[in-house]
Amino acid sequence: MTSVLVAMSGGVDSSVAAALMKDEGHDVIGVTLKLWEGSGGAAPTAGCCTVSDSEDARRVAAQLDIPYYVLDHTDVFMGGVVDRFIGDYLSGLTPNPCIECNRTVKFTELMVRAREFGCDAVVTGHYAQVRRERGAWRLFRSVDEAKDQSYVLSMLGQDQLANLRFPVGPLTKPQVRDLARGLGLRTAGKPDSQDICFVGNRDYRDFLADHSRQTVRQGTIVDQDGAVVGTHAGVTNFTIGQRKGLGIAVGEPRFVTRIDPHTATVTIGRRADLEVGEVGLRDVSWVADPVESGASVTVQYRAHGALVPAVVHVDPDNVVMVFDEPQLAIAPGQTAAIYAGREVLGGGIISSSG
């Protein structure tokens, strides 16, 4: 029997994760990370860290008869996730704040807190699996392909995986809800959150306008030949592959193909202009063993995207993924997770495409 720290978001997955750990005989401590607050320090009414979410987590912990704490990490979340989210969009990138939160906040701060509480492991409700194989800790996709979250965990390494548990990874979402109903947990029928937690149900552009410390520059929209076809109110209003909301009419569909934040220029083109044959990666990390150059792998470059075949090329300065077939609308700033079958090999942030 061990002591475990369970991150409880107030949702059904983390509730069942705590229940499964308790059922296995572990000493369980439940915690909710307070990551975001409204103006004047008020609790937000949408997104993460709402009063209702914390109350759901507290009442589930009470039902399971485990201690429960709310831990304030708003400062590190603001600096490591929100400020970077804003800065990336102002730089013409398309960030994934959930991955950055896992990298800089959740699995860093939770490990620190676990040691303070005298716990042996951290438990979350993520849909993924960790196993000790071939002399190392390995990360795998979950049983439920539709709910798999291994993509947002692709930055995890050996030190973290050795002390992590994902109890719902071997289960499907319907099984998790059935377990919650069987236990009478109040979160059994609670809908999954689909929004960026700190943005909530707002448009991210409105969030950027309210929270950016930097003035958004107006600029021009040009076609593939560089001819000016319109103007815009700021590059934060655009992402690669965007079709709607361009504010221009040219008679046939056009898509955003390039964003240059330095000149505030947005380039548009036809669908074929979105095709990408390869991407370069930065901030690459490997789960266990570095991948050999020339290896055939599969890559996921969107949170809910499909796995696509590619060949990885590694040298001391670069990691480049060459796709077997061209892909559409890949944006710098997105994360590319690298797989071999169901195993996560690692990942990095897309820095270039060609």
**In 178-274, which ranges are E strands?**
219-222, 228-232, 255-260, 265-269
Q: Where are the domains of the chain?
A: 3-125+167-183, 215-269, 275-353
Least confident of 171-185, 239-253, 277-291, 327-341: 239-253
d(Cα 92, Cα 75) in Å, to the nearest integer?
A: 25
Query: Is 197 annotated in the active site?
Result: yes
CATH of 215-269, one of 3.30.565.10, 1.10.357.140, 3.40.50.720, 2.30.30.280: 2.30.30.280
- Regarding pTM above 0.75, the answer is yes
Residue closest to 223 by CA, chosen among 183, 267, 188: 267
Give the pLDDT mean for 116-143.
Answer: 97
Give the pLDDT mean for 142-159.
Answer: 96
Q: What angle do CA 278, 282, 286 make, to 5 degrees?
A: 100
Q: What is the pLDDT of residue 38?
A: 64
Q: What is the pLDDT of residue 208?
A: 86
Domain 275-353 is in which class?
A: mainly beta
Q: What phi and psi, each to the nearest 5 degrees, are found at residue 55?
A: -65, -40
Q: Does CATH place domain 3-125+167-183 in 3.40.50.620?
A: yes
Q: What angle do CA 173, 176, 177 make, to 5 degrees?
A: 90
Of residues 211 and 306, the one with the higher pLDDT is 306
Among residues 48, 98, 101, 119, which one is catalytic? 101
**CA 267, 273, 274, 280 torsion: positive or negative?**
negative
Cβ count near 189 (within 10 Å): 10
Q: What is the pLDDT of residue 245?
A: 87
Query: Is 98 annotated in the active site?
Result: no
d(Cα 347, Cα 314) in Å, to the nearest integer?
A: 13
The answer to whether 75 and 33 have CB atoms below 8 angstroms apart is no
Q: Which pLDDT tens digit goes with each residue over 293-319?
A: 999 999 999 988 999 999 999 987 789
pLDDT above 80: residue 181: yes
Q: Which pLDDT tens digit goes with each residue over 43-78?
A: 565 556 677 889 999 999 999 999 999 999 999 999
Provide the pairing of β-strand 136-141 with 343-353: antiparallel
Of residues 292 and 49, the one with the higher pLDDT is 292
The burial of 118, by beta-carbon neighbours within 10 Å (0-12 exposed, 13-18 middle, 19 or more buried), is given as exposed
Cβ-Cβ contacts under 8 Å for 181 (sequence gap 6 or more): 188, 189
Give the pLDDT mean for 122-133.
Answer: 97
